Amino acid sequence: MRNQSDNIVADIDWVMVLLYFLLVGLGIFNIYASVYDPDHPNLFDQITQHGKQITWLGVSIFLGVIIMLLETSFLKKYAYWFYGVTIVLLVIVLFMPAVNGARAWFGIGSFGIQPAEFAKIGVALALAKYLSATDHSRSRNIQSGLSIIPKFSLTKLPLPALMILLVPAALILLQPDAGTFIIFTSFILVLYREGYAGNVLLFLIVAVIIAVVTLVVAESSFIIPGLKIKLSGKTGIVLSLITLGIIFYFVIRSFVLPRNRGGLYKALIGSLVVAIIFVNFIEIGYSKILMDHQKTRIDLVLGKIDDPDGEGYNINRAKAAIGSGGFFGKGYMKSTLANENQGHVPMQSTDFIFCTWSEEWGFAGSFSLVLIYTILLIKMIIIAERQRSDFTRIFAYSVTGIFFYHFMINVGMAIGLAPVIGIPLPFFSYGGSSMMSFSILFFHSAQIGCRA
């Protein structure tokens, strides 16, 4: 690592800084439109959300500057400590009074802090430190030159690494905060990049497809054409999987060299069994384990429930706000649904902030925002890839994964592609904890970037 702390300004990745201030600036003006109150028109009024957001921005920039001045080695050195503190906070918060049914907040006056937001940073640091310290990342997939397609072997993630992930995840589930918990699955991306979880990622994609099909079809029944046999949807899925298996069997027999067939047959039978078990697990899990409101949210996305003024109220209002924006939008501060005054879209300054933006700026605005986030994410991948040390690369990828998940789920939820999960849109949603944690993550990433 170069030691150029005397020339840090020259090293700053100005594109990142520009993106940061662009997003934060647009975010604050968007919150201003979203919660505009004629009694408090001052942008900096601390009673208003935009005023508070500006305060949080100030704190964040202060933290950012400190982080920029820190040596990476310092971060690496205290990574476990930081992780430890966040874990302790996650435990303590479970004894705090519940807000909206979840013990997730430390209240400080009118400000609230969510330790789960900071837990993400702790996990990213700890994971980076642990994985960089072990040599697993290098030896895992060495036999194959091309590793985009993962080998079908269960990757053995070292137990400590797994624990680093699972302990905070479990604590967050106890709050309960399903949204932040889901963000923890973003670390699978990091593991994938580091050569651990290739098959896990593929599994995940196949599993999501099977799960969606199962949930849509399982409760229905159908009649086999020609035969007058009535089958349940689940039986249909299982039959389809077996049919697929038989097709693959013939494909293997026809196109694969005999000496390679044995392993593939085993893999085929194995995955078929796993898939059939998984189908049953999904069905049972859906009906027995999930809470009613979670089931409802999933059913809404899958289109199994259509209740625009009841269960589907939030998502219906959100989609109406976005969809009514048209190409150029209704104009700044001219939204008729997604602002606090109108109150049609719930949580329009936090979880559904994308609605205000898209309603007022139309497709032109929503596309621009998607583009800005895409550029940011690609830029973060580039920074991560530029790293020479494993620690910084893993950490940078963790940050990228977290941002990507937040972007994907928050926007996906607002446009009806993902179930309603209350997680913020980085730099856009109102909220001190998320503002600070995203800033810390971001400045870490940027700082790493300028020292690569």
- Tell me the closest approach of the beta carbon of residue 271 to another protein, in angstroms: 21
Cα distance between residue 186 and residue 401, in whole Å: 5
Whose Cβ is closer to another protein: residue 92's or residue 205's?
Answer: 205
Residue from 105, 181, 192, 203 binding another protein (CB under 8 A): 192
Cα distance between residue 193 and residue 138, in whole Å: 11
Q: For the window 133-172, what string marks contact with another protein as x by the rule CB under 8 A?
A: ----xx-xxx-xxxxx------------------------
Any contact of residue 15 with another protein (CB under 8 A)? no
Residues 6+ apart with CB under 8 A from 326: 362, 363
- Tell me the closest approach of the beta carbon of residue 145 to another protein, in angstroms: 7
How many residues contact another protein, by CB under 8 A?
57
Any contact of residue 419 with another protein (CB under 8 A)? no
- Tell me the closest approach of the beta carbon of residue 346 to another protein, in angstroms: 9
Stretch that binds another protein, among 215-223, 277-285, 400-408, 444-452 (CB under 8 A): 400-408
Own/partner contacts of 411-414, CB < 8 Å, gap of 24 or more, are 411/354, 411/370, 413/315, 413/318, 413/351, 414/318, 414/319, 414/322, 414/352, 414/354, 414/355, 414/358
- Tell me the closest approach of the beta carbon of residue 352 to another protein, in angstroms: 13
Nearest to 118 by CA among 68, 53, 48, 63: 63
- Tell me the closest approach of the beta carbon of residue 379 to another protein, in angstroms: 11
Residue 452, both tokens = 């690569």
Q: For the window 355-384, what string marks contact with another protein as x by the rule CB under 8 A?
A: ---x---xx--xx--xx-xx--xx--x--x
- Tell me the closest approach of the beta carbon of residue 295 to another protein, in angstroms: 24
Looking at residues 282 to 311 of the shown chain, list those that interact with another protein (rule: CB under 8 A).
308
- Tell me the closest approach of the beta carbon of residue 359 to another protein, in angstroms: 8
Any contact of residue 198 with another protein (CB under 8 A)? yes
Residue 124, both tokens = 């990213």
- Tell me the closest approach of the beta carbon of residue 34 to another protein, in angstroms: 14
Residue from 54, 189, 237, 425 binding another protein (CB under 8 A): 189
Looking at residues 326 to 355 of the shown chain, list those that interact with another protein (rule: CB under 8 A).
326-327, 336-337, 341-344
- Tell me the closest approach of the beta carbon of residue 259 to another protein, in angstroms: 25
Any contact of residue 400 with another protein (CB under 8 A)? yes
Residue from 120, 319, 406, 451 binding another protein (CB under 8 A): 319
Cα distance between residue 214 and residue 275, in whole Å: 11
Residue from 45, 324, 333, 389 binding another protein (CB under 8 A): 324
Residues found near another protein in the complex (CB under 8 A)? 137-138, 140-142, 144-148, 189, 192-195, 198, 308, 316-317, 319-327, 336-337, 341-344, 358, 362-363, 366-367, 370-371, 373-374, 377-378, 381, 384-385, 397, 400, 404, 407-408, 411-412, 415, 417
